[in-house]
DNA sequence: AGGATATTCTATTTATCATTGGAATACTGT
DNA sequence: ACAGTATTCCAATGATAAATAGAATATCCT
């Protein structure tokens, strides 16, 4: 019953906690949950110095939360397995349940809470009936690695130029990575300014997957 | 779309990671998942200096993973909510799935892998048929705050003296906190030395609860 | 082979965290 | 009010982590 053996065992679990103990690393996990990505793609999307991103990725790899694959001169990182995505989801849920500071931080990033939402089940039913147009506003790369059935890929950066592709009659639902992804918020605001009735999926592809709904 | 607002948002999630980034704090969460406990009870069970335990509990409280309740001069800590227990379970599962160093660390603490296990469902069925005696070898306090239906409380410390209470004919199953709790390992070894056919529940009360099986 | 590109390693500075003894605080029970 | 008990606060030390510039490595392409 060595105390040091016990400590060593719990230290193993703590390694994962430590790895998730930095905002930048959590952000990296958030992006990697969408699919694998190269180091400089991650540096771009997070706006962090390349060397710093590399250092954080090493930390995640030492904790075995991510693994790598080499392709030519690029190294692609991805989550080590489904349990890691579930750990991340559990982290989000725990924060939502317990952290009183979270709503303010979310509003400061996502903007005022003026965007109407739609739940998974309702969207699922309306999509089956064809009474709604679902758009995926993530970068095309993320759409390619898995998206909602029937969703159209219109990355946020192209949305303003592709308004004509949206049918006038039906309601539009935009979604992106998850509940704290700013892309769909911006998309909804943009479309509403153009007079299109739009809502956003309350959470994103990650939770959709976790709920065992189909993905293409 | 301030980068600093994004950083602040993810910093909120990272707070929970940071809080789980120390072996001692994970151990505290492990114990608290069984029910609320006072500061010095936690210091005793973990064998850590009282001041140090208090400091770690403050850290957990700042992350809102635990809350407190005062009763007379004692302060009782407990997990802030069910999402925290689920976060802890997700941490264990991710470690099991991804961490190659975990099996060795577990064996160093729990002893050689010579203890036969029984799954939740099998135990559930055999308990219904009454062909098995289920003993809860955790401290009586933890038994009191919730235990498997029909289980008898025999804390490990008393087990050697209460062997006569175990019926000779039926198989015995011992369980404790979870898959990494040493109590049931020790219990099984002790009973087997006395010739009683014994197995341990593969995981513990925490996973039993998470699987929505009944608890008394 | 040699230049180009992507990533990691090394080294340094700065900031944050862990541990713990001793003092301070908060509450109880007489 | 006061002595007793449980817990937290304070302060000091040592240890660990973060950020990043510059050098080194690995692979590709011609």
Q: Are B68 and B39 in contact (CB under 8 A)?
A: no
Q: Is the pLDDT at A80 greater than 90, yes or no? A: yes
Give the closest nucleotide to A40 (alpha carbon vs C1'): C6
Please give, rounded to a whole number of angstroms, the shortest distance from the CA of B136 to a CA of chain A: 19
Q: Is the CB of A58 under 7 A from strand D?
A: no
pLDDT of residue A4: 86
Q: Is the pLDDT at B4 greater than 90, yes or no? A: no
Over the stretch B134-159, which tens digit does the pLDDT of each residue have?
999 999 888 988 899 989 999 999 99
Residue B11 contacts A where some CB pair is shorter than 8 Å: yes
pLDDT of residue A24: 97
Q: Is the CB of B12 under 7 A from strand D?
A: no
Q: Which long-range contacts (CB under 8 A, 24 or more apart) does A152-158 make?
A: A156/A183, A156/A186, A156/A187
Over the stretch A105-131, which tens digit does the pLDDT of each residue have?
999 999 998 899 999 989 998 988 888
Q: What is the largest CA-CA distance in chain A?
A: 69
Please give, rounded to a whole number of angstroms, the shortest distance from the CA of A149 to a CA of chain B: 28
CB contacts < 8 Å between A and B, how many?
199
DSSP assigned state of B180: T
What are the structural domains of chain B?
3-94 (1.10.10.10), 103-210 (3.40.250.10)
Q: Is the pLDDT at B216 greater than 60, yes or no? A: yes
Top mean pLDDT of A109-123, B47-61, B194-208 is at: B47-61
Over the stretch A177-215, which tens digit does the pLDDT of each residue have?
999 999 999 999 999 998 888 999 998 888 999 888 888
Quickly tell me which residue has 């219904």 as its tokens.
B128
> Which residue, A122, A115, A114, A169, is CA-closest to A137?
A115
Q: Is B181 a catalytic residue?
A: no
Q: Are B78 and B72 in contact (CB under 8 A)?
A: no
Number of residues in chain A: 216
pLDDT of residue A216: 85
Residues of A that are catalytic: 176
pLDDT of residue B3: 81
Chain centroid, CA A210 distance in Å: 12
Q: Are B150 and B113 in contact (CB under 8 A)?
A: no
The burial of A37, by beta-carbon neighbours within 10 Å (0-12 exposed, 13-18 middle, 19 or more buried), is given as buried
Chain centroid, CA B70 distance in Å: 24
Q: Read out DSSP for B13-72?
A: HHHHHHHTSSHHHHHHHHHHTTS-EEHHHHHHHHT--HHHHHHHHHHHHHTTSEEEEEET
Task: Please give the C-alpha separations between residue A110 and each of A162, B4, B91, B132, in angstroms, as whole numbers.
Answer: 23, 12, 28, 55
Pick from B17, B89, B97: CB nearest A17: B17
Please tell me which residue, A80 or B2, carries the higher pLDDT value. Answer: A80
Q: Is the pLDDT at A1 greater than 70, yes or no? A: no
Q: Are B184 and B176 in contact (CB under 8 A)?
A: yes
CA dihedral (B78, B83, B87, B90) positive or negative:
positive
In this structure, the strands spanning A132-136 and A152-153 are parallel
What is the spatial distance between Cα A26 and Cα A29, in angstroms, rounded to a whole number? 5
Task: Please give the C-alpha separations between residue A51 and each of A31, A69, A109, B38, in angstroms, as whole numbers.
Answer: 18, 19, 25, 45
Give the closest nucleotide to A58 (alpha carbon vs C1'): C8
Please give, rounded to a whole number of angstroms, the shortest distance from the CA of B87 to a CA of chain A: 5
pLDDT of residue B1: 57
Q: Which residues touch strand C (CB under 7 A)?
A: A 38-40, 50-51, 54-55, 57-58, 68, 73-76; B 18, 21-22, 24-25, 48-49, 51-52, 55-56, 59, 70, 72-73
Q: Which of residues 30-89 of A touch B (CB under 8 A)?
A: 30, 47, 63-65, 80-84, 86-87, 89
């Amino acid at each position: 019953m060595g105390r040091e053996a016990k400590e060593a065992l719990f230290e193993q679990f703590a390694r994962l906690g430590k790895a998730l103990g930095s905002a930048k690393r959590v952000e990296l996990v958030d992006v990697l949950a969408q699919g694998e990505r190269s180091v400089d793609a991650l540096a771009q999307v997070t706006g962090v110095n390349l060397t710093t991103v590399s250092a954080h990725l090493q930390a995640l790899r030492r904790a075995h939360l991510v693994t790598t694959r080499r392709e030519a001169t690029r190294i692609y990182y991805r989550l080590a397995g489904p349990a890691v995505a579930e750990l991340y989801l559990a982290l989000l849920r725990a924060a939502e349940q317990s952290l009183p500071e979270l709503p303010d931080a979310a509003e400061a990033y996502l903007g005022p809470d003026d965007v109407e939402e739609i739940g998974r089940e309702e969207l699922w039913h309306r999509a089956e009936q064809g009474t709604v147009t679902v758009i995926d506003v993530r970068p095309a790369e993320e759409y390619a690695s898995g998206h909602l059935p029937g969703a159209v890929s219109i990355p946020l950066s192209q949305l303003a130029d592709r308004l004509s592709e949206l049918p006038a009659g039906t309601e539009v639902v935009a979604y992106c990575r998850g509940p704290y992804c700013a892309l769909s918020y911006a998309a909804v605001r943009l479309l509403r300014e153009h007079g299109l009735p739009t809502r956003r999926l309350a959470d994103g592809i990650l939770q959709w997957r976790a709920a065992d709904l189909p993905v293409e």
